[in-house]
Amino acid sequence: MYRPEKYKKDNEEFIFQFIKKHPFATLISRSENLVATHIPVLLQGDAVSFQLYAHIANHNEQLQSLKDGTEVLVIFHGPNSYISSSWYENKDISTWDYQAVHINGRIKLQTKQELEKSLESLVKYFEKDQEEPLYYSEIPQKMLEDHLPLITGFWIEPFKIQGIAKLHQKYKTEDINRVVKELKKSDDQIAQKLAEEMENENSEKLKE
């Protein structure tokens, strides 16, 4: 991933928390051509040492490329937005600010038992905040038995991890404040979230 030095974010805790907050990822592998699927990808472990897990449908063409040892690229996307040059104190060039984490890893296919455990964890992760959560153990057994043969689960063992946060670091305080103000005015919730991230990233400068 192209990463100017000032935007690199390789802190282990940042990476770990970013993936937890933005689990809907892009999984890329190579078959005859590059192929990609957009799926939830979750963590197992801690910030110092973790692996990823996910599953895809068996009729997905990408499955043909997912063998033990296959290298894949997983991209986790954070908030992003266009930044208009009209927002700056003086004329400048428009840009796009964003956050992302790229992980290169190797596939290890799951056993049936591992897949079931992963699905149980995945459902719990996303259901726990629902008003009336429906957990994996509460899904009718016949439904599970019909569904499980149709999907394949896998682990991803990371060997290269890169984070980036392009949030107007090194810009003048006045320009950062102007950009944050405009993003907060937007009707786009993603732009509003980017404003929060920009304030957090530049908090020391904004105190000056």
Q: What is the mean pLDDT of the chain?
A: 95
**Predicted confidence band at 208 (pLDDT cuts at 50, 70, 90)?**
low
Residue 154 pLDDT > 80: yes
Specify the amino acid at residue 186: S
**Domains, the chain:** 5-169 (2.30.110.10)
Please tell me which residue, 208 or 108, carries the higher pLDDT value.
Answer: 108
Q: What is this structure's pTM?
A: 0.93
- Give CB contacts under 8 A, 24+ apart, made by 158-161: 158/50, 158/51, 158/52, 158/103, 158/104, 158/105, 159/104, 159/105, 159/106, 160/102, 160/103, 160/104, 160/105, 161/10, 161/15, 161/101, 161/102, 161/103, 161/104
Q: How many residues does the chain have?
A: 208
Structure tokens at 108: 């290890």
Taking only the tens place, the pLDDT of each residue in 105-138 is 999 999 999 999 999 999 999 999 999 999 999 9
Question: Which pLDDT score, from 0 to 100, does residue 204 have?
Answer: 84
